[in-house]
Amino acid sequence: MKLCMIGTGYVGLVSGVCFADLGNDVICVDKDFSKISSLKKGRVPIYEPGLSELVIKNYKNKRLRFSTDLKKSIIQSDIIFICVGTPTKKGGSSADLSQIFNVVKEISSSINKFKIIITKSTVPVTTGDEIEKILSKKNKKNKFSVVSNPEFLREGEAIRDFTYPDRIVVGSNEKKSIKIMRNLYSPLISKGAQYVNTSRRAAELIKYASNAFLATKITFINEIANLCEKTGINIEDISIGMGLDKRIGSRFLRAGPAYGGSCFPKDTKAIISTADKFKTNLSVIKSVIKSNENRSKLLLERVYKILNKRLKNKQITFLGVTFKANTDDMRDSSSLIMIPALIKKGAKVNYYDPTGYKKEFSKIKNVKNSATIKESIIGSDLVIIHTEWNDFKSINFKSLARSKKFIIFDMRNIYSAKKIKNQGFKYYSIGR
C-alpha cells in the first residue's frame, strides 16, 4: 500500500519506518527542509533506539522516501497519516490543532482519488468530525474517509511498541476503510496484536483516557510513596503487592519524580478542556494534574532538607535530565522545574545526560554540562539520580568520592539503600 506520513517527529517517523519495514511504500513528509535533508543522508534527528538502523535499511531498499513536497506526496498516496504535533495552546489548556487543520486544508485540495485520512496525532473527541466537514466542502463524500488510529508508542521503546502492540485501535464505521485498515495491520494482528474497531469518536477518546489513566496510576503510587516515607515502609513492597492483583497490574507503579514527556502533561490538560466543553467534571484527572505539579515542589523540599536548607554554593549533580531514560526528549521533564529552582536558591548544578548537552539550560547561569559521569560528580555535595538510564545502574560511587563524600538522592530507586549506606554514603530514595 502507498502511505504518506505527514510530520516526521517521534510518531510519524517511527510509524512510517515501521510500516515500510512491513512492506509498504511510505513517503515521510515534513515542512522542515533540514530534517528531511538529514534523513535523506541517513541521519535521524531524534534519539530512539533502533530507529537509525531501520531508516537506513528501508531507505536503501526504496520502501521509504522523504520529501518536503506535501501536495505531491498526498497525490501519490492512498493512505494519509496525520502525525503533526498537537501541543497545549499557548496560555491555555486545550490542544492547539492549528497544525492539523493546516495539513487538512492541503489534503482537501489534493484528493485526486479515494483516500483514507487518518489522525495518528492525539486529537480531542470530534476532531475527526471537523476534518470530515472541511474535506466535504471541496470533495465528494465517496472520495475520502476520515479514520482515527491513535498511537500508543512510548519513547525509547517505540519500535517494539509498534511491532508488538498491546492493541491497535481503529475508529471508523465505514466498511471500505475498516477493510483496508485491517489489511494494513494484518502482519501485526497475525503475530497476536489485539485489533479493536470502534467509532471514530471512541478511538479519539481511548487515547486520552489511556494516557490519563496511566498518569493517574503513576501519581497514585507517588502519593503512596509519600506515605511510605512517613511510616517506614518500602514502596517497592507495595508496588509488588498491589501489582500482583491482575485487576491492577504491575506496570506503571514505579514511584519517582513528577511524570513528564510529550504526552501525559498535555493530554491530561486537554481531556479536561474537552470535558469542560461538554460540561463534564473530570475531577480525578484534575487532582492528578495538581498532584503531579506539586510533586516537583515536594521533591525540591526534600532536597532542601537533605542539604539542611543551605544551598548557597552547594554543588549538585544531576544524572540524567530528560523526562525518562532512552530518550533525548526534554519536554515537560521535571528537571526543567527542579534545576532552575535549585539555582535560584544559590546552588550550582552540573548535569550529565547520555544524550548530551541540553539547550534548555543554556541561559541559566551556574548550570554546567559534563561530558562524563565522573566529571559531573567530582566535587559534588549532592548527586541526584533523575533518570533511570542503564548507564547509572552500576556506578562505583566510592571510586568517585575522592576526599569528600557526597550525598546521593536516588529519585528512581535504582540502588539498594543498604549497599550504598554500607559504602559510607548518605543515601536517600523515594518511598523507602
Which residues of the shown chain bind ligand UDX in the complex (CB under 6 A)? 151-155, 211, 214, 218, 252-254, 256, 259-264, 323-324
Kindly tell me which of 132 and 360 has the beta carbon lying closer to ligand UDX.
Answer: 360
- Describe the crossing of helices 264-277 and 283-306 by its angle, rounded to 10 degrees: 150
Helix axes 33-40, 51-60, angle to 10 degrees: 70
Nearer to ligand UDX by Cβ, of 128 and 150: the residue is 150
277 CB contacts (<8 Å, ≥6 apart)?
A: none
**Taking the complex as a whole, how short is the minimal distance between the CB of residue 72 and ligand UDX, in angstroms?**
30
Shortest Cβ 320–ligand UDX spacing (Å): 10
Rounded to whole angstroms, the Cα distance separating 145 from 336 reads: 41
Contact (Cβ atoms closer than 8 angstroms) between residue 93 and residue 269: yes
We find the least distance from the C-beta atom of residue 335 to ligand UDX, in angstroms, to be 11
User: Known catalytic residue: 83?
Assistant: no
Q: Which is nearer to ligand UDX, 172 or 222 (CB)?
A: 222
**Shortest approach of ligand UDX to residue 150 CB, angstroms?**
7
57 C-beta neighbours (distance < 10 Å), count: 15
User: Of 414, 416, 417, nearest to 389 (Cα)?
Assistant: 414
Which grid coordinates are listed for 161? 511498541
Spatial contact of 320 and 330, defined as CB atoms under 8 Å apart: no
Residue whose CB is less far from ligand UDX, 261 or 307 = 261
**115 CB burial (10 A radius; 0-12, 13-18, 19+):** buried
Q: Which three cell numbers stand for residue 373?
A: 559521569
As given in the structure block, the three cell numbers for residue 225 are: 510513596
Edge-to-edge strands, sheet with 427-428? 367-369, 348-352, 315-319, 382-385, 407-410, 427-428
Smallest gap from Cβ 55 to ligand UDX, in A, equals 19
Cβ–Cβ < 8 Å for 170, 180: no
Least Å distance, CB 383 to ligand UDX, is 19
CA distance 288 to 342: 25
Q: Which is nearer to ligand UDX, 152 or 415 (CB)?
A: 152
Residue with Cβ nearer ligand UDX (63 or 295): 295
Beta carbons of 399 and 415 less than 8 angstroms apart = no
Instruction: Select from 257, 260, 277 the least CA-distant residue to 268.
Output: 260
User: d(Cα 172, Cα 170) in Å, to the nearest integer?
Assistant: 6
Helix or strand or coil: residue 348?
A: strand
The one catalytic residue in 28, 83, 228, 263 is: 263
CB 350 within 8 A of CB 370: yes
What is the smallest separation between the CB atom of 260 and ligand UDX, expressed in angstroms?
4
C-alpha separations of 309 from 258, 297, 399 in Å: 22, 14, 28
CB of 353 to ligand UDX, least distance (A): 14
In the complex with ligand UDX, the residue whose CB is nearer, 253 or 316, is: 253
Query: Which residues make Cβ contacts (< 8 Å) with residue 171, sequence separation at least 6?
Result: 128, 147, 148, 149, 197, 198, 199, 200, 201, 202, 203, 204, 206
User: Least separation, in Å, of the C-beta of 332 and ligand UDX?
Assistant: 8
Minimum CB distance to ligand UDX smaller for 317 or for 413:
413
Of 323 and 428, CB closest to ligand UDX: 323
Q: Which residue is nearest to ligand UDX (CB)?
A: 263
Active site residues: 263
